[in-house]
Amino acid sequence: MTTGSPWFRPTNDPQNEPPNHPTNTPAPEPIPAAPYAPTDPYAPVDPYAPADAYAPAADPYAPAAEPYAPAAEPYASAEPYTYEAPPAAPYEAAAQESPYAPPYDPYETEEPPGPSPSETMALQAVELPSGPGRAERRRAAKGGRGRNRGGAGPETPTTTPPQGRPLSRVEARQAARAAKDSVGVVASRAVGELFITFGVVMLLFVTYQLWWTNVLAGQETDQAKEQIEDTWAKGDSKPDAFEPGEGFAIMYIPKLDVVVPVAEGINKTKVLDKGMVGHYAEGKLKTAMPSDKQGNFAVAGHRNTHGEPFRYINRLEPGDPIVVETQDAYYTYEMASILPQTAPSNISVIDPVPKGSGFTEPGRFITLTTCTPEFTSTYRMIVWGRLVEERPRSKGKPKALVG
């Protein structure tokens, strides 16, 4: 019987156990596994190696492991691994070394390379002369004088002399010749300036014709109207006796808001271009006066420019009033008919009984003539009217003007 056995000792005091008994032997401290030591899956395993007698036996009733559980990471460790990049300086230095140098050891400690001379010294730019040399200038001068023996054209230096150096005589001549415009450029420039000048002149002429002539004609008609009224006030005028260009009546067309003096004759410069209406009173074109007991009082006026008093007479309709004021009376006519277009040579439209007017018997008529189409003088437009009232000025204005 073994006296050291715990089954035959008088007490359970562990101090009485043998020193080498398994229960009295302290458990060995576990060796921490290397966090980065990889496990070799191909390491040899000894099948006859003795098992640990004190290792706990597997529990036969323990639940089976999850078949789909992920395998444990062989390199997992309790502490997270932090990657530290190696210093960049040794690699940069190795990249600048000779390709025949031994490979760089990242774990070898070496001193960082010192600054190179190029890093500590300031860079100095060396300026080379960009202009031609003396020999090139001589060759250029010979080529410019027609001494080129090779048959090719003279070589013109394409580089400019450096700043600060004055041009040579040859270079100055070449620069002046290059800056001088060719004949084609000068000619095209002259033609362009000529066209521009012509366009400006035409624009000024159109502005003068369409706008400024109306302004001047308005001033002329105002003065002529005042002069006629002053003459009537003085009583110096004589009916049926007027000089060419002399104003003797005032015409009103209320629908068109026209108030224009009537002068003797149809002279373009003295009468029509001054914005007035001219009375046909010369030679074969002589017509009656408003005061005549029978006849056709025919007048002419501009349709465009120079006051354009008859510009819109095509808008008149039968029954519209046309009033002529003289020193003694107001003569009221009613528009009767219109001839939109006829030849300038058709003078029958101003006959005592005008043809085409619709009048068949003698009477007291008025005829207005003007150019058509607008801004041309190709044809003539004719408007006729019949006298409906003769009212003395002493009785006041007629109803056509008062209304």
Active-site annotation, residues: 302, 371, 380
The helix/strand count (H/E) of the chain reads as 7, 8
Q: Reply yes or no: is the peptide bond before residue 373 cis, omega within 30 of 0.
A: yes
User: 284 is written with which tokens?
Assistant: 């074969």
b vs e for 267-286, b when ≥16 Cβ sit within 10 Å of the residue's Cβ? Answer: eeebbbbbbbbbbbbeeeee
Distance CA 209, CA 215 (A): 10
- Compute the 3-state secondary structure of the chain and give helix, strand, coil in percent, each to the nearest 5: 30, 15, 55
Q: What are the start-end ranges of the H helices in 71-212?
A: 88-96, 117-120, 134-144, 169-179, 183-207
d(CA 172, CA 197) in angstroms, rounded, equals 36
Length of the chain: 403
Distance in angstroms (rounded) separating the CA atoms of residues 148 and 140: 9
